[in-house]
Each structure stands twice: as C-alpha cells, then as structure tokens.
Structure 1
Amino acid sequence: MSEESAALAPSPAAPPRPAAAKAVRASAAGGRNSLARLGPLPWIGPCIALILLVVVWPVVEMVLTSTHKISGLGIDFGFNGIGRYQKLFSDPRLGTVMLWTLVWTVLVVGFTMVISLALAQLYNQNFPGRKYTRWALIIPWAASVIVTSIGFRWMLDEVAGVLNRLMLDLHLIHSAQNWTGDAAHSKPWLILVAVFVSLPFTTYTLLAGLQTVPGEVYEAARVDGATTWQTYLKITLPLLRPSFLVALVINLINVFNSFPVIWGMTQGGPNTDTSTSTVFMFILGQTDVGESAAMSVVNFAVVIAMVLLFLKVSRWNEES
C-alpha cells in the first residue's frame, strides 16, 4: 500500500478511556438496580390498575351512594347518612327475603353438590358413549342462564306450557296449573332450574379432582382388603376435599348472587315472595337507589364473609 493510500485509510478507533468505560458500566448498573427495586410491579401493575377500576371503584361508589337519598329517577336529594340503612332494616319484607335467600342458597348448593358428586363418579368410569354424555352436560353451562330460565317459564306457563299439556294428557292433573303464579308452586321449580344450570361446573370440578387420585392408591386398598365403601370414605373423599371445597365455595357465592334464574322465571313475585337479596336489591332500585345501594353493601359484606371462610378452610385443608 502506498503512503498516500495509507494516509487516506481511516484510523482505528481509539479504545475508550478507563474513566468513561467505568461511567457507562455504572450507569447501566444503576438502571438495573432501579428496575430491580420495582420488583414485579411492572408486570402486575396493569392487573392492579384493572382491579382498582372494575372492583374497588364500584365498591366505593356503592358505599357512597348508600349514604345518599336518590329517587328511582336518579334525582339526588343529598347526603342522608345511615338513613337508607335504617329504611332498609325497617322494611317488613327484608326478613322474609333474607330467610328465603338462606333457604335458596343452602338447598341449591346442597342438591348441586350431591348430584354433581354422583355424576362425577359416573363420568370417571369407562362406559360406551361417555364422551357424548360429557358433551351433553356442557349444554346447560354453555347456554345463557336467562335464556334457560325464560325457556322453563314458558314450559310452565298455564296456557301454552308443555308441562300442563303433558300432565293433562296423562290425567295427572284435572286442570291447568299456574306453576309460577304463587310462591308455593314456583319455589321448587326455581330450585330445580338453579341446580340444573349449576351442575356442569360443579361436576367437572369434582371430576378433575377424581382424575388426580393415583390409581396405585386404589390398588393398595384392594390388596389390603378394603371394601368399595371403605375405599370411597377413606381414600376418595379425603383426596377429593380440595376440589370439593373449591366447588362448594364458588357455588355458594354464585347461588347467593344469582339473579337471572329468579328474574327470568318470576321476577321475584308475586310481590317479593320469591325474591332473594340480589333480586330484592334490583326491585328497591326502581324506587329508591340509595336503599338499593344499602342492600348491595349488605350483600357485599356477606360475600366477603364467604371469601374469608373459604380462605380459612383452605388454610385448614393445606395444614391437614
């Protein structure tokens, strides 16, 4: 290479000075330390923001609304303190509503758990067509609850209902019955429909728990001479307890808060005879939004108590 070409060639970059390199490393380390101080916040931050937006904020608004006198038309007459709570607890209908809510929740959850446990045991066995029967069980879960409720209401209709037509043809009744016209007739049907729409989730939850039980445990029980009933009581039920508790608590919350079944079939009537606390809350909101919000606060407190009970039971289950 000539001297002229060598002169035109770019000279190699000078190595960075030690002080500059040290400053760059310190800056990078400082950025990493700042990010490390945040911990998991950048990842869970959006979730926290979503919870604040869709859970905490509505709860705060609900509590604030319960301290105001607001008409059914939305006219705010100002701060009323605990006046809406006093009106709610002096309402003669509240005692009947809360008693029916308790009966409704206990019966629906109780029947659902017992029937779902039997169905889960059935679906855990090998038999022809098991796949199709499992698919069929999903139908009440996949269909809209309000659509299912309205379908049952029309089936029970006094004039056009298929149930009356069938029972008349079989001479089981002498005249058409209004199955949803009074509380005595409608309450059993409400419980039946609520159990019907609750079975799929509960059954699949228990079925998942059954399929986690190792087959070796049953084999060891047979070798030890345990009977089928002893195996079920001493092995299956204890190992199924985590799934059973999850299904139980979620059903309690869902059934307690259930609105579509009752509203779709009876709208809480006649009067408020078939209204649970959730339906009663909606009915109150048509005339007094503040009292409805007070009922919402009471319902929210009950749900929180259920959640705390679930956490306590879960901790007991883990310790066991």
Structure 2
Amino acid sequence: MHDAKIRERGAGAVAPAPRARGRRRRGRELLHALPWIGPAVVLISVVVLWPVVEMVRTSFLKISSSGLTLGSQGGKNYSDLFAEDDLVGILIRTVLWVAAVVIVTMVVSLALAQLLNARFPGRRVVRWAVIVPWAASVLMTALVWKWMLDNYFGVVNRVLLDLHVLHEPVNWLSHPDQAMMWMMWVAVFVSLPFASFVILAGLQTIPGEVYEAARVDGAGTFRTYFRITLPMLRPALLIASIINVINVFNSFPIIWAMTQGGPGHATDTTTTFMYKIAFFDQDVGESAAMAVVNFVLILVMVLFYLRASRWREEVR
C-alpha cells in the first residue's frame, strides 16, 4: 500500500514533463517559422498598427495647423467633437450610407455573379467589361458622374428631357436627398465588380455533384438555390460584405468629388467631416478624435455583421 502511494506520487511528479516538452516543441516550431512570418509581422506592425497607435495618440494632443505639437489636450478633442451640432446627423447618415450601399451591392452582385457563371457566347468579354468600374480610378468615375449630372450640360438631364420625363433641367447634386441617392448609385457601381467576382469564385467552388444529387431528390430551382447555393456561398458573401463595409465606410473620393459634403454638412459622412475639421477648421487633434470614432464604428459594424451571420459556425 505504501509503495503504491509512492509510485502514485512519482507518477504525479513526472506527469508535467510531457507538457513541458510540448511547450518546448511549440517554441522551437515558432522559432523555425519566424523567418517566414517575421517580414509579414513587421509589415503589419509598420503599415497597420503603428498608424493606429499614432492616430489614438494624436487625438489627445494639441497640434497646430503646421503640424507642431503644442502639448496634451487630455479629452478636450473628444469633448469638442461630441459638442459639434452636426455630428449626430453625420453618424446616422454614415450608417445609412454604408448599409444601403452594401445591401444593394450584395443583392445585385449575387445576380451578376450568377450571370457571369453561366455559359453564353461572349462570356469572357462580359467578365472583362464588369472589371472596368473597379479598374478605373474611383475619383475619375465620381467626376464623370458629376459631369453627367450637370443641370445644364449633363447627359442625364438631356436624356430625361428628350424622353419628356422632365420639363426643365434639375440640379441633382444641390438637393441633399437626391445627391445622396446618386452618390449611393456611384458607390454601388464601383463596388459591384469586386463583390461579383468574389461571389463568382465562391460559385465555382461548389461541386456539380451537389446539384445533381439535388435534382435526383426532386429539388426545384428555388429550393436548390436557397438550400444549397446560398449556404455554400456564405464564406464568399462574408468576405465580400466585410471588405465592402470597410471600403464604403471610408469612401472619401465619391462624396468629395460630387458634393464635397455640401450643401453645408448635408451630405457629409464621417470621412469628409474628418477632412473638413482638419483642413477647414485647422484642428488636427479633433480630426484625429473623429478618426478614432470612425475606426471604432467600423469595428462595431463588422463585429455586428459577423455576429449576425454566425461566422463561428463556418470555423467549426
């Protein structure tokens, strides 16, 4: 009995050894992988993490228009920002802008990806044509649409007048609601190619045998689409949606080129408002505080979307 207890204590004392060996082995594996992942870690630290740290640090400083640091501001930049009369309206408009553009983009991209995945004459040419809005400069695309919407010489007014839809030219971009609708259209226009090709890639990974099995079981077109295609497209939809949320949230060129956030702040989003604070009001610290709020909003929206789409199920 006594010997058995001694053996049990001995076994208990030796038990942690495998765990220690496992930790040492993982440490050696990490050291072996470091030359490969090290450059990526350095790049991410310099390009992503360091600017974020600087942004947060700047939001607590008083900085002159020439870029000279004049000392700490504490939380004054944030208190000044939240005291802005137009901030609440701009935040609500930004969320609506992102939600509307991303939802419409994803719905249209689903249909467009199905078209691009079908076999028809000239499919390759159509695929190349779809890439054009994505390959072109976003700023130039926005400027072209601004010229097309000109109330005197724009092609939109000209066509609508010739079709007798309008009786007189309309200055589309001078009315905030109409201007937002047109800017949303341009944002969808430039977002469609990326989302469509991501979904197209997802469609091409679905095995044909799955559809054959569904047809054998008597599943119709709609049932096959909603029970097989959409569930298997979830990873592609997740990637396309998240990247679109981030891109649309930070979409500065479209709004600035078409309306500059005007009249007043009527079509501003957080990005254009941030720019105006920095370069019109010459308040770099408050602009940095707006950048931090913008960054947090993006994270919240992405996390909310991940939560709503139950992304962990994909990991399992």
Q: 1:84 to 1:240 in 2, by over 3 A?
A: same
TM-score normalised to structure 1 length: 0.85
Match of 2:298 in 1: 303
Structure 1: distance between partners of 2:29 and 2:158: 72
Paired residue for 2:195? 202
Once the two structures are aligned, what percentage of the paired residues are identical? 55
| Higher mean C-alpha deviation, range 255-264 or range 66-75 | 66-75
**Matched-pair contact (CA < 8 Å) for 2:105–2:195:** yes
Q: Give the alignment partner of residue 226 of structure 1, picking from 216, 219, 231.
A: 219
Structure 1 CA distance for aligned equivalents of residues 65 and 167 of structure 2: 44
SS at match of 1:316: helix
Task: Return the offset for 1:311.
Answer: 6.3
CA distance in 1, matches of 2:85, 2:64: 20
**In the alignment, which residue of structure 2 is the partner of 1:235?**
228
Q: Does 1:292 align with 2:287?
A: yes
Structure 1 residue 130, shift from structure 2 partner = 1.3
SS at match of 2:293: helix
Residues 230, 92 of structure 1: CA spacing in aligned structure 2 closer, same or farther, 3 A cutoff? same
User: Does the CA-based 8 Å contact 1:249-1:306 persist in structure 2?
Assistant: no
Instruction: Give yes or no for the alignment of 1:186 onto 2:179.
Output: yes
Residue 248 in structure 1 maps to residue 241 in structure 2: yes
Deviations 1:34-57 (A, max 9, x none): 987722112222222222212222
Indicate how the Cα distance of structure 1 residues 203 and 74 shifts in structure 2: closer, same or farther if over 3 A, else same. Answer: same
**Which stretch of the first structure deviates more once superposed, 63-72 or 179-188?**
63-72
Cα contact 1:253–1:306 (8 A) shared by 2: no
Q: Structure 1 regions of 5+ residues with no counterpart?
A: 1-33
**Mapping for residues 1-320 of structure 1, pairs under 5 Å:** 38-286=31-279, 287=281, 288-308=283-303, 313-319=310-316
Residues 39 and 307 of structure 1: CA distance in aligned 2, closer, same or farther (over 3 Å) = farther
Following TM superposition, by how much is the alpha carbon of 1:64 offset from its aligned partner in structure 2, in angstroms?
1.5
Residue type at the aligned position of 1:292: S
Amino acid at match of 1:299: N
Deviation (angstroms), 1:303: 2.6
**CA radius of gyration, larger in:** 1
- SS of structure 1 residue aligned to 2:62: strand
Q: Which amino acid aligns with 1:115?
A: V
Task: Indicate the SS of the match to 2:173.
Answer: coil
Deviation at 1:308, TM superposition (A): 4.4
Matched residues, number: 286
Q: 1:170 to 1:307 in 2, by over 3 A?
A: closer
Matched AA of 2:215 = R
Q: Report the more deviating stretch, 240-249 or 108-117.
A: 240-249
Kept after mapping to 1: 8 A contact 2:59/2:288: yes
Q: TM-score, normalised by structure 2?
A: 0.86
Segment of structure 1 superposing worse, 189-198 or 228-237:
228-237
Counterparts of 1:128 and 1:234, CA distance in 2: 29
Greater displacement, 287-296 / 68-77: 68-77
What is the SS of the residue equivalent to 1:69? strand
CA contact (8 A) 1:117 1:203 kept: yes
**Partner letter of residue 119 of structure 1?**
L
Q: CA deviation at 1:70?
A: 2.4
Aligned partners of 1:262 and 1:279 also within 8 Å: yes
Report how far residue 96 of structure 1 moved: 0.6
For residues 164 and 69 of structure 1, what CA distance do their matches in structure 2 show?
A: 48
Letter in 1 for 2:314: N
Give the distance between the partners of 2:289 and 2:48, measured in 1 at CA: 17
Shift of the alpha carbon at 1:307?
4.9
Paired residue type of 1:103: L
Could you say what the CA RMSD is over the residues aligned between the two structures, in angstroms? 1.8
Determine the C-alpha separation between the residues in 1 that align with 2:302 and 2:154: 40
Alpha-carbon distance in 2 for matches of 1:155, 1:198: 19
Aligned-pair CA distance for 1:270: 0.9
Distance 1:173 1:72 in 2: 47
